[in-house]
């Protein structure tokens, strides 16, 4: 099965917790705090593996949770950092954040890596909190939670040339003739239901990769037929070979077919029309094809070369392949996403400041505090130690939560909930 789009959940590992401990050595009178920091959590890293061709593996494993860092130890021993979690993906994979729609990474080359979910830093041990006022603190942080997100993986096949056209115009036959690929060929529509790749070698020893893409029909960009599932695979091609059935055996006008397919490409992504296009007039061995070709050329207004061929008899195929190879050499790669050179250009993006906390009221009258920043602080607080709880209270006061609760009408003794924990408001 060819799988080219899948939704996956990834979570970086949490940092290890800091340690609360003190030196207790016989001849060290002022031992002091000796709690070590926790180790860094593992990051989820995607790496391109050349041998993979589809996203099939992600159908069976859709959750990737990286291990956490090791907790801090006594004697100021730092916890061990967790090794990154490496996930293999096929070349041509685009990683998109499901919530924001932002492209996180575009992975095309073997061995290329990208951090998808960053691991959390380790919590600080009590050595870090020693001050002249409090030389023996019983405070330590829990590890920072690892980044978690839902992502969309899209596979866009890596091919130099993409064959497009209506169903049954001879795309699969052409691919089978010019390469060692064995696509399914039959006399009915939508025989090809997955993209087929073949390596083509010309007589002057040049080679390129050609993709036979499932037939497009009118409305494909809106989800009609099979073509909408595979239009994304055309985005990486340098040259588009537009195959047209010049025999018109099915009663369609070849020029109308040409206009409809180009309109579908334009509706899906206008940048596809920037690619050089070669028109292949196929089935020239059939009766009436010569007349239809003359009529087609008379209507054609675009400056695209037209190659009359017969994929069955291989008539005209040699010249077509040489021209395609020339076009590939003359055409640079088209980047899917805008890339800026960090050394020469700085991109400033306006992003809305994240609200540190939100206060709401539950049906039972409980005040509820929520927000990514305050929840992260709470997760990093060791609630089993009184000094850590006092420190968290000071952090809440510094963020303005106490004043915000008073403004919402909170009084002494009211219940306040943060995540799954409840406490009384003290005015």
pLDDT at residue 260 in the model: 86
Query: Which residues are registered as beta bridge partners of 315?
Result: 310
DSSP output for 381-393: B-TTSHHHHHHHH
Domain match, 301 and 166 both = yes
- Write the CATH number for 94: 2.70.210.12
pLDDT at residue 337 in the model: 53
Nearest to 33 by CA among 387, 390, 378, 392: 387
**CA–CA separation, 425 vs 184, rounded Å?**
71
pLDDT at residue 215 in the model: 60
The dihedral of CA 206, 209, 214, 220: what is its sign?
Answer: negative
**CA–CA separation, 163 vs 243, rounded Å?**
7
pLDDT at residue 341 in the model: 39
pLDDT at residue 154 in the model: 85
pLDDT at residue 11 in the model: 96
- Taking residue 89's Cβ as centre, other Cβ atoms within 10 Å add up to 23
Q: Which two tokens stand for residue 283?
A: 């089935």
Question: Which residues does the annotation place in the binding site for GTP?
Answer: 165-172, 190-194, 212-215, 282-285, 310-312
Domain match, 168 and 280 both = yes
Domain that holds residue 378: 358-424
pLDDT at residue 220 in the model: 47
Rg value, the chain, Cα? 31
Going by the DSSP 8-state scheme, the letter that residue 150 receives in this structure is: E
Q: How far is CA 281 from the centre of its chain?
A: 38
In the chain, which residues have pLDDT < 50?
1, 187-193, 220-221, 223-227, 339-344
User: Which pTM does this prediction carry?
Assistant: 0.71
- Write the CATH number for 417: 3.30.300.350
Domain match, 62 and 33 both = yes
Nearest to 334 by CA among 280, 279, 270, 278: 270
Domain match, 287 and 166 both = yes
Query: Which residues are registered as beta bridge partners of 23?
Result: none
Q: Which two tokens stand for residue 28?
A: 């060290």
DSSP output for 210-241: EEEPPPP-TTGGGT-TTHHHHGGGGGG-SEEE
Would 346 be classed as within a structural domain? no
- Write the CATH number for 178: 3.40.50.300
Which of 117, 136, 155 represents a domain boundary (last residue)? 155
Domain match, 247 and 296 both = yes
pLDDT at residue 409 in the model: 87
Question: Which residues does the annotation place in the binding site?
Answer: 165-172, 190-194, 212-215, 282-285, 310-312
Quickly tell me which residue has 């340690």 as its tokens.
19
Would 345 be classed as within a structural domain? no
Domain match, 77 and 206 both = no
Domain match, 414 and 376 both = yes
Domain match, 272 and 181 both = yes
SS3 state of residue 367 = strand
Domain match, 289 and 309 both = yes
Would 344 be classed as within a structural domain? no
Domain match, 74 and 192 both = no
Domain match, 74 and 170 both = no
Question: Which residues does the annotation place in the binding site for Mg(2+)?
Answer: 172, 192
Q: Which two tokens stand for residue 117?
A: 């979910």
Which of 110, 130, 155 represents a domain boundary (last residue)? 155
| Residues whose CB is less than 8 angstroms from the CB of residue 263 and which lie 6 or more positions away in sequence, other chains included | none
Domain match, 171 and 315 both = yes
Nearest to 39 by CA among 88, 72, 5: 72
Would 48 be classed as within a structural domain? yes
pLDDT at residue 351 in the model: 56
Within 13 Å of residue 220, how many CA atoms lie on the same side as its CB? 26
Number of domains in the chain: 3
Terminal C-alpha separation, the chain? 63
Would 68 be classed as within a structural domain? yes
Would 349 be classed as within a structural domain? no
Would 337 be classed as within a structural domain? no
Would 353 be classed as within a structural domain? no
pLDDT at residue 205 in the model: 82
């Amino acid at each position: 099965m060819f799988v080219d789009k899948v939704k996956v959940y990834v979570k970086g590992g949490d940092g290890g917790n800091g340690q609360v401990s003190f030196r207790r050595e016989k001849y060290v009178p002022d031992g002091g705090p000796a709690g070590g920091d926790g180790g860094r959590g593992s990051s989820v890293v995607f790496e391109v593996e050349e041998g993979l061709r589809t996203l099939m593996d992600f159908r069976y494993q859709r959750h990737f949770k990286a291990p956490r860092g090791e907790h801090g130890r006594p004697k100021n021993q730092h916890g061990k950092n967790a090794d990154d979690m490496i996930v293999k993906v096929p070349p041509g994979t685009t990683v998109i954040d499901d919530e924001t729609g932002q492209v996180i990474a575009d992975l095309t080359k073997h061995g290329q890596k990208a951090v998808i979910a960053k691991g959390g830093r380790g919590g600080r041990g009590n050595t870090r909190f020693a001050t002249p006022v409090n030389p023996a603190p019983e405070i330590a942080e829990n590890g920072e939670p690892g980044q978690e997100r839902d992502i969309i993986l899209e596979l866009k096949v890596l091919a130099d040339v993409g064959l497009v056209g209506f169903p049954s115009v001879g795309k699969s036959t052409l691919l089978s003739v010019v390469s060692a690929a064995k696509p399914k060929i039959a006399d009915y529509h939508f025989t090809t239901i997955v993209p087929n790749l073949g390596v083509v070698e010309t007589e002057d020893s040049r080679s390129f990769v050609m993709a036979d893409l499932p037939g497009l029909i009118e409305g494909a960009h809106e989800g009609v037929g099979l073509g909408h599932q595979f239009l994304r695979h055309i985005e990486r091609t340098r040259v588009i070979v537009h195959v047209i059935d010049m025999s018109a055996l099915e009663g369609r006008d070849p020029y109308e077919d040409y206009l409809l397919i180009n309109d579908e490409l334009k509706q899906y992504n206008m940048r596809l029309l920037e690619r050089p296009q070669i028109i292949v007039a196929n089935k020239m061995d059939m009766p009436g094809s010569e007349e239809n070709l003359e009529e087609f050329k008379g209507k054609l207004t675009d400056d695209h070369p037209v190659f009359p061929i017969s994929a069955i008899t291989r008539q005209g195929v040699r010249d077509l392949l040489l021209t395609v190879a020339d076009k590939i050499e003359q055409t640079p790669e088209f980047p899917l996403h805008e890339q800026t050179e960090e050394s020469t250009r700085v991109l400033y993006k306006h992003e809305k400041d994240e609200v540190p906390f939100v206060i709401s009221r539950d049906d039972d009258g409980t005040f509820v505090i929520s927000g990514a920043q305050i929840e992260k602080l709470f997760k990093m607080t060791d609630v089993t130690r009184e000094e850590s709880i006092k420190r968290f209270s000071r952090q809440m006061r510094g963020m303005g939560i106490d004043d915000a609760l008073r403004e919402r009408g909170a009084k002494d003794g009211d219940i306040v909930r943060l995540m799954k924990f409840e406490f009384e408001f003290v005015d």
